[in-house]
Amino acid sequence: MPVDPQSRVGYIRSMTTPAAAPLPADDSTSGQETFAQGRQAEEAGHLDAARSSYESALVVSPDQPAWHYRLGCVLLKLNDPGAALSSFERAAAGAADPVRALTNLGVCHDRLGQPAEAMRAYKRALGRGRSAVAHHNLGAIHAEEGRTEEAIRCFEAAIDIEPDAEAVLNLGLVYYARQEFGRARECFERSIAEEPGFALGHYHAALCLQRTGMYRAACERFRHAARLAPRLARIPYHLGVCLRKLEEFEEARASLEAALEACPEDGRIHYELALTCDAVGLHQEARLHYGLARSLTEDHD
């Protein structure tokens, strides 16, 4: 579901925070030692070494759900969700509390582009206990597939369990996609209250201000978001549009030209530049941008 008029902005996903896995007292010493070496390697950021140690420990003692869980977490960190699937399945099958393993099983399917399988895993997790992450990620799938009421319920359930800037932002994105800009902005402001330096919260609050014609306030929020996250590439475009609406044409032109550097084939930026150039008497340059806007828009139809 697009939330930015210029580009598709995806809903943020979460992953469970891995819990420490205890060493079982009744396991072989060699397996325990190898697993402990893996934990040390993982904590030090040596993920390949951690993977090797966990796999070796599981050869010695394969019936350790906590060890399978740790291996799955390392595989996810190594960006290998396909390999992590079986680890989380085995962890869930043997764990007294399988909620984390089932939730991360859903994360694996999510990353593999398998939303139906991800939803099943998240629902399995929620059938066994409370999980803000499972609710959150279920909400993201519902939102992306256009089921906004279900998405709202899931995000609200996640927030009830664990208030979090990203979950509140995602709830706001659903309202934004429904063009309920007042409710969306409330969510974005709440996400900032949860995390004051949350650049995406400021950016989306600015979008709401822009969409409701509050251009001066929007400019200030876009500038603040840019200070927090200079790489948010869409800010110069939206700032330029607001400045043009305020008839601050020179600043608008500078901002739109910066936007064009980041996205040179975006016809909408060329169109806004054309309007701005016309306003300051640069009619030849305006004609150039009108032509490019028309050409690029036709190419994307």
Contacts of 236 (CB under 8 A, 6+ apart): 226, 255, 256, 258, 259, 262
DSSP symbol at 4: B
Cα separation, 213 vs 224, whole angstroms: 18
Residue at 105 is within a domain? no
Cα separation, 138 vs 150, whole angstroms: 9
pLDDT for residue 297: 76
pLDDT digits (tens, 9 = 90+) for 13-55: 777 766 655 555 455 567 899 999 999 999 999 999 999 999 9
* pTM summary value: 0.85
Average pLDDT over residues 67-86: 96
pLDDT for residue 15: 77
Residue 282's domain comprises 246-301
Provide the 3-class DSSP secondary structure of residue 63.
coil
Neighbouring-strand partners of residue 73? none
Contacts of 22 (CB under 8 A, 6+ apart): 66
* Whether the predicted pLDDT of 3 surpasses 60: no
Residue at 271 is within a domain? yes
pLDDT for residue 19: 62
Average pLDDT over residues 59-82: 95
Average pLDDT, the chain: 90
Cα separation, 89 vs 180, whole angstroms: 40
Residue at 283 is within a domain? yes
CB 116 within 8 A of CB 128: no
How remote is the C-alpha of 50 from its chain's centroid? 27
Residue at 162 is within a domain? no
The CATH code of the domain that includes 278 is 1.25.40
Residue at 55 is within a domain? no
Give the residue with greater pLDDT, 13 vs 87: 87
* Whether the predicted pLDDT of 238 surpasses 50: yes
Average pLDDT over residues 232-255: 96
pLDDT digits (tens, 9 = 90+) for 135-182: 999 999 999 999 999 999 999 999 999 999 999 999 999 999 999 999
Question: HSE (CB half, 13 Å, CA atoms) of 74?
Answer: 28
Cα separation, 246 vs 109, whole angstroms: 46
Residue at 257 is within a domain? yes
Residue at 43 is within a domain? no
Cα separation, 173 vs 271, whole angstroms: 26
- How many domains, in total, are found in the chain? 1
pLDDT for residue 129: 95
202, two tokens? 């400021």
Residue at 258 is within a domain? yes
Task: For residue 216, name the pLDDT band (cuts at 50, 70, 90).
Answer: very high
pLDDT for residue 53: 96
Lowest mean pLDDT among 14-23, 221-230, 290-299: 14-23
Instruction: Cite the DSSP H helix spans in 129-266.
Output: 132-144, 148-161, 165-177, 181-194, 199-211, 215-228, 235-245, 249-262
Task: Please provide the distance, in angstroms rounded to a whole number, between the alpha carbons at the two ends of the chain.
Answer: 19
